[in-house]
Structure 1
Amino acid sequence: MNRISRKTLTEILTILKDSYLKPDTKLNFLDFDNPFQILVMTVLSAQTTDNNVNKVKPQLFSRYPDCKALATADQEDVEEIIRSTGFYHAKAKNIIAASKMLRDDFNSEVPGTIEELTKLPGVGRKTANIVLSHAYNINEGIAVDTHVKRLAGRLGMTKSSDPVIIERDLMELVPKEEWGLINFLLISHGRNVCDARKPLCDECKLKGLCREYKTGKLQ
């Protein structure tokens, strides 16, 4: 079965914008102040909630405010600060190593391309897309997390379960100026309505446009 049409996509986006975009809406879920913070916090957000990462932010960046400070940090000290985010050994190792690379190879600046960002330890394409979109307002791709993967499939935006292919399918379907926005909208709907195990289909404003609902897979 083919993917949904651009007309259907436009209808979906209109409904999601009406539901989740308000005049004071922040299009990011991490409470960052600069590119370095969003980079580190996005690495820390793997396998945990954004709220958990936001909670460790004050202590982490008061002690290590920039890449030069974090590059020389004691790993055990960093681990203790970020322990509540899970996988703290690997995360601490990665953010310290990434900070060293920023200091040594990028003049202590967070780079502004996918290719450069993904050279940093712990930074994959999803993280790079989030950093570019939120820190620099650059759309080079679409960050595919678990919510985006689930909703893109249910709504018929892709037939794949591979994040790389899902990203490609979404990039072909969604206008480039809305690549950053689609991530926010799908995550918001995934958290509020389209749960992985118990989607609230009766309350969902998209059920008339949802491929899996219409084919009975979610009923």
Structure 2
Amino acid sequence: MLDVEDAVSGPSRKRRASNVKRKRSSLDDVAVSVADQDRKPTSTSPRKKAKPVPQSLEVPHPAPANWEETYNTIRQMRAKITAPVDTMGCERAQDEEKDAKSQRFSTLVSLMLSSQTKDEVTDAAVKKLRAALGGSITIDAVIGAAEDLVSDAINKVGFWRRKTTYIKKAAQMLKDEFNGDVPKTVDELCSLPGVGPKMAFLALQVAWKLNSGIGVDVHVHRITNRLGWHKPPTKNPEETSRLNLQSWLPKELHPEINHMLVGFGQTVCLPIGPRCDLCELPGKNLCPSARKVVNVKMRKVLAMKSDLDSATPQVTIAVEEDTVAPSPIACKEDPDEPQGRAR
């Protein structure tokens, strides 16, 4: 026979027992979670989840007609010009560093600072940051530095507040996850905050001398479209322009094309008011976007000096009146695009 007490308290006892089991299970889950956390890396900067960077097109882009003549003509013109990128580009950031790891890290920092910023401003910020960190841009120095100190050093570059956070977090990740050094793959570099594919490809070329792809910035994107090298014209500098170029441009030219076209874009093929009068491509019918210089009373003139006796090419800036009539062929311009190197 069922006891009265059992009949009344039985269900209640079952519920209490069930609650106790759930509490124990919950405590066990917490214990497992804590144990799992103890086994995980202690990085304070979680890795950015990024898709693998695409490396090729399903259908390769055909090589443009006469591209070799065009390429060699630009190369010859660039040999006569000293552009800002030649003296203040990301390649120069490592010059003041003696340690190999610091050279690689300073190159990466320079690239992170260069986004939407002219080379002159980036170069000054790198030098100021190096001085603020005690004479060397190292991962430990950046980790140990206060955010205000980093911010004060780089506050002339575009988006400096965001870049301060990116640089601090990237330094911590490099120490925790990459043995205190710049990684050697594009995907690993792109896992760092503030680092995109174009920076990653350039970092590998400059820091590690690895030829993994083309770093396409606004200059390369603009100039290759003006030359008609993309059919149809591309809108995305990173994926469409880069993948198109990589599909037909010989791989041995991948490391140099960015530096060559950036300098050409800074001095001749400008974003606004390109100096087609100084360019040799129109005379050879190699540029479908060529135009005559628009009539302006006073304008700067870039004179390229080709002196065989001179060891260093010279550039002279002068001012003169311009009375050349405009051509019916015009280039589409982006008024928001900086005229310096914006990687």
When the two structures are superposed, what TM-score results if normalisation uses the length of structure 1?
Answer: 0.90
2:111 corresponds to 1:36: no
Matching residue within 187, 194, 198 for 2:262: 187
Matching residue within 289, 305, 328 for 1:212: 289
2:246 corresponds to 1:171: yes
Mapped to 1, the partners of 2:274 and 2:247 lie a distance apart of 27
Q: What is aligned with 2:122?
A: 53
Of Structure 1 and Structure 2, the greater helix share is in: 1
Query: Is residue 88–residue 120 contact of structure 2 (8 Å, CA) maintained in 1?
Result: no
Mapped to 2, the partners of 1:16 and 1:212 lie a distance apart of 15
Query: Is residue 219–residue 261 contact of structure 2 (8 Å, CA) maintained in 1?
Result: yes
Mapped to 1, the partners of 2:210 and 2:252 lie a distance apart of 9
The aligned amino acid for 2:156 is: S
Mapped to 1, the partners of 2:104 and 2:88 lie a distance apart of 13
Q: What is aligned with 2:12?
A: none
2:192 corresponds to 1:110: no
Query: Is residue 27–residue 184 contact of structure 1 (8 Å, CA) maintained in 2?
Result: no
Query: Is residue 213–residue 246 contact of structure 2 (8 Å, CA) maintained in 1?
Result: yes
Aligned residues: 216
The aligned amino acid for 1:216 is: I
Mapped to 2, the partners of 1:145 and 1:75 lie a distance apart of 28
Query: Is residue 64–residue 229 contact of structure 2 (8 Å, CA) maintained in 1?
Result: no
Mapped to 1, the partners of 2:87 and 2:78 lie a distance apart of 10
1:118-175 superposed Cα distances (whole Å, 9 cap, x missing partner): 0111000011011011112212121111111110100011121112111001111211
Mapped to 1, the partners of 2:88 and 2:255 lie a distance apart of 10
1:190-214 superposed Cα distances (whole Å, 9 cap, x missing partner): 1111112211112211222112238
Q: What is aligned with 1:21?
A: 79
Mapped to 1, the partners of 2:253 and 2:87 lie a distance apart of 12
Mean Cα deviation higher: 4-13 or 153-162: 4-13
Q: What is aligned with 2:236?
A: 162
**1:7 shift after superposition:** 5.5
**1:28 shift after superposition:** 7.4
**1:6 shift after superposition:** 5.3
Mapped to 1, the partners of 2:63 and 2:188 lie a distance apart of 34
Q: What is aligned with 1:70?
A: 142
Mapped to 1, the partners of 2:177 and 2:88 lie a distance apart of 28
Mapped to 2, the partners of 1:45 and 1:206 lie a distance apart of 29
What is the SS of the residue equivalent to 1:201? coil
Q: Return 5+ residue gaps in structure 2 as ranges.
A: 1-60, 95-102, 292-327, 333-343
1:83-122 superposed Cα distances (whole Å, 9 cap, x missing partner): 0113111000000100000000000010111011001110
Query: Is residue 114–residue 128 contact of structure 1 (8 Å, CA) maintained in 2?
Result: yes
Mapped to 1, the partners of 2:73 and 2:128 lie a distance apart of 39
Q: What is aligned with 2:40?
A: none
The aligned amino acid for 1:124 is: G
Higher alpha-carbon Rg: 2
Mapped to 2, the partners of 1:212 and 1:136 lie a distance apart of 37
Query: Is residue 71–residue 103 contact of structure 1 (8 Å, CA) maintained in 2?
Result: no
Matching residue within 61, 67, 89 for 1:9: 67
The aligned amino acid for 2:78 is: Y
**1:5 shift after superposition:** 4.0
When the two structures are superposed, what TM-score results if normalisation uses the length of structure 2?
Answer: 0.59
Query: Is residue 79–residue 88 contact of structure 1 (8 Å, CA) maintained in 2?
Result: yes
Question: CA, structure 1 residues 27+80, in 2 after alignment: closer, same or farther (shift >3 Å)?
Answer: closer
Question: CA, structure 1 residues 72+58, in 2 after alignment: closer, same or farther (shift >3 Å)?
Answer: same
